[in-house]
Chains A and B, each alone.
Chain A
Amino acid sequence: MIYFNNVSKVYRDAVALQDVTFTVDTGEFVSIVGHSGAGKTTLTKMILADEIPSGGTVFFESINIGKLKNKSLTKLRRRIGVVFQDYKLLSNKTAYENIAFAMEAVGKTDEEIQSDVPHVLELVDLSHRIMHFPGQMSGGEQQRLAIARAIINQPELIIADEPTGNLDPVNTHEIVQILKKINDLGTTVILTTHNRGVVESINKRVITMENGKIIRDTKHNK
């Protein structure tokens, strides 16, 4: 599904990625681990075309992401759900509107929005927060809302960039369980983290990065 082929990224004075090659199959749950600055976030940004490689190619199925023009880029992003460490919710929209916005973006009707939003909020246990703004919610709740937004359009791929970075162990556990459930339902998940405990609790394929290179790519076995 995802193909990284000798991908490099060089910023003015630093190398973020160096000759990264790997593939992700449909339905996989891949954890990318490494210290801060190892290149995990750059990697995920490339799948979203938020960063363009300095060298090499990134493919999403048969699409060369680096060569996408505006319209097709928008279309690609609609096939991917994203969860960030800092949630990136729309602060002046309620929980309901945050999810509705993502549905409006892909052109869903008002009826679909009215029936699906409460349903997905129930799925992440946020029914009681439906009319609250992100600022009125706890970190864990905001991250669950972000996940709800990421999955509402039934994307083929979920990218979760350090989704548990700002959360306590209880909330971390909840988020990981939700992501596992999403993966069980057939959606490909790419998760980045520097938390060993998270990786171990998932118990799936792990790519370890250091200084912009992949140093280990293994199915994690306890």
Chain B
Amino acid sequence: MGITSFKRIIKGGFLNFKRGGIVSWAAVLVVTITLSVITLIIFLQAVLHFSLNQIKDKVDVTIYFTVNAPEEKIMLLKSSLEKLPEVAAATYTSADEALKLFRDRHSSDYPTIQALDEIGDNPLGAYLNVKAKEVSQYESIANFMKSDNALVLGSASIIDKVNYHQNKLVIDRLNTIISGAQKLGFLVTLILMIISVIITFNTIRLTIFISKEEIGVMRLVGASKMHVRGPFMVEGVIYGVIATIVTMLVFWPAAGWLGRNMTDFLGINMYDYYLSSFFQIFTILLLSGIILGIISSFLAIRKYLNK
């Protein structure tokens, strides 16, 4: 295909769009709705992701050591824990720090402080706070603590208790909820996407159906398939580009409103998210819009070309 015919196809697409009038704008509207659905899904995923991360962050396992546990041994255990692929972080709190934190927490609880003073000695042991990368991995970390690996290091004697077993029920429950929420989110996304793609495809098919006879005439006049099909595909691209711009413009104030009024509820400032991911969202929408437009036009026109 030469440059001249390429130019003609592009020009033809723009002319078709311009002269299509209300039909063209109806197609743009439908593509805009589809892209809005995609944007909403991106927002929802952000909220879901953020909320789940927050919940996940609240889950941890704490290993309490006996009062006299030597620090080197604890540190040895810490470093071997950190070598586990499941462990995101292990934070050490020494006995002194534990006491200080305890005092701070109970500063208004006079009898407790008094009791503590009476003991004189620090009754608290040091502890290790372990965070896993995934909620589902706490069990294997707890198992590691029970296993020979940990015992070889001589840690069995210094561990007072591991609170995983007390928290097991909550952790398991959270784990189910999180994986369920992720699956549901994916399913909803998939269904919404399929529905919007079908609707867009059908709308573009209708706009081409209107030109069905003209396509036949073009072929009879001796136009090649690409000469007939090209302008329709260019029109599809135009739908996609305009719809992307409209969608981005519509979601700007919408994200602003969400940011001002719903940040506490959603746990994430949507306006900040929108601005920081602006180019990412824009690229996703533009590509979706253009691909949707081109493929729909390509498939819809195929039926009328084969003569």
Q: Which residues of A contact B (CB under 8 A)?
A: 48, 50, 70, 74-75, 77-78, 82, 88-93, 97, 101-102, 104-107, 109-110, 149, 153
Question: A88 near B222 (CB under 8 angstroms)?
Answer: no
Give the CA-CA distance A159 to B238 in the complex, in Å.
38
A-B contact pairs, 29 of them (CB 8 A): A48-B220, A50-B307, A70-B225, A74-B222, A74-B223, A74-B224, A74-B225, A77-B219, A77-B221, A77-B222, A89-B217, A90-B214, A91-B214, A92-B15, A92-B16, A92-B20, A92-B214, A101-B218, A102-B222, A104-B5, A104-B8, A104-B223, A104-B227, A105-B218, A105-B223, A105-B227, A107-B5, A110-B4, A149-B221
A50 CA to B224 CA in the complex, in Å?
15
B19 within 8 A of A: yes
Point out the residues of chain B lying under 8 angstroms from A77, CB to CB.
219-222
B-side residues, CB < 8 A to A, are 4-5, 8, 15-16, 19-20, 213-214, 217-225, 227, 307
Question: Is A101 a contact of B213 with CB atoms below 8 Å?
Answer: no
Whole-angstrom CA separation of A70 from B219 in the bound complex: 11
A105 touches B20 (CB 8 A): no
Instruction: Identify the closest chain A residue to B305 (Cβ).
Output: A70
- Other A-B contacts than A104-B8, A105-B218, 15 sampled, CB-CB below 8 A, are A74-B223, A75-B222, A77-B219, A77-B220, A77-B221, A82-B220, A88-B213, A88-B220, A91-B214, A92-B20, A92-B214, A102-B221, A104-B5, A105-B223, A106-B222
On chain A, the residues within 8 Å of B213 by CB distance are 88
Most buried by A among B4, B213, B221: B221
- What are the residues of chain B within 8 A of A82 when measuring CB–CB? 220-221
In the bound complex, what is the Cα–Cα distance between A82 and B217 (angstroms)?
10
Distance between B98 CB and nearest chain A CB, rounded to angstroms: 80
Measured CB to CB, the closest approach of chain B to A51, in angstroms, equals 10
Chain A residues in 8 Å Cβ range of B20? 92
Expressed in whole angstroms, the minimum distance between the Cβ of A213 and any Cβ of chain B is 26
